[in-house]
Structure formats: structure tokens, C-alpha cells
Amino acid sequence: MPHITVEYSPELSGAFDRRGFALALHSTLSPMVSADIAGFKTRFRQVEEVVVGDGSPAAMVHVRVGLLTGRPVELKQQVGQTSVDLLRDHLKPVEGVPAQVSLEVYDLDREQYHKLVL
């Protein structure tokens, strides 16, 4: 915990420093959400096909940050803004392809969350 999923358009593949983003996100959010950095998990999914708006050339990145329940709304808003700022630092513009970035912070049900380390 936290669990982070990042979906992104194929056009951004070469312009997105995914590993750098994940490492920066883990180290920045760890003290903010009082979670051990070793527990962070980020996975990236390149989406095969994306249609944005009217279908004109465009790309997207969507980030989902899952935190265990019980955190105040203000902290979740801070996590969201910090994450978007870090993403901006790790995503270069692609000429002729505007990119839309979105992010959501959601609750992982603390009573239903299970973890096993082997």
C-alpha cells in the first residue's frame, strides 16, 4: 500500500519517464501518507487505443492512487496535486499530440485489504 496504476497512450511511451515518476512518487508520498516506501506498488499500462474528445490527435495519462481508508479529504487532495506535479516533471511534450492528464485518489477498504510478503 499505496497501490498506483498509471494508464497512458502509446504516443507517450518515449516521452514518459515511468520509472523516474514512480520512484519520485514513492519517495515524495511516503512521508506524506505515513506509509513505508517498501510497500508502494506502481504499475504502468500502455493502453492500446485511446480516443479523446472529437477524435483529433491527442494522448492521455490517467493515474489512480489507492490509499487505505481513514485519511482526510485534504490529505487526499494534497496527494493528488503532488502526483500531478510530479507527473508533469516526468512527461515531455510530444509535438502535434496534446496530452490530457487526470488523476484520482481512491480508498482501499482497510478491513478488506490483505497483503502477503514472501
pLDDT in tens, 45-93: 999 999 999 999 999 999 999 999 999 999 999 999 999 999 999 999 9
- What is the residue range of 79's domain? 3-108
Look at residue 75 and tell me if it is in a domain.
yes
Does any domain span residue 55?
Answer: yes
CATH label of the domain that carries residue 92: 3.30.429.10
**What was the pLDDT predicted at 101?**
96
Could you say which DSSP state residue 36 is in? -
Q: Do the bridges between strand 99-108 and strand 59-68 make them parallel or antiparallel, or are there none, so unpaired? A: parallel
**Residue 43, beta-bridge partner list:** 5
- d(C-alpha 115, C-alpha 74), whole Å: 27
Q: pLDDT (tens digit, 9 = 90+) per residue, 1-38?
A: 899 999 999 999 999 999 999 999 999 999 999 999 99
Residue 100 lies in a domain: yes
> Rounded to two decimals, what is the model's pTM?
0.92
pLDDT at position 95 over 90: yes
Asked if residues 59 and 11 have their Cβ atoms less than 8 Å apart, the reply is yes
Strand order in the sheet with 59-68: 41-46, 3-8, 59-68, 99-108
Total count of domains within the chain: 1
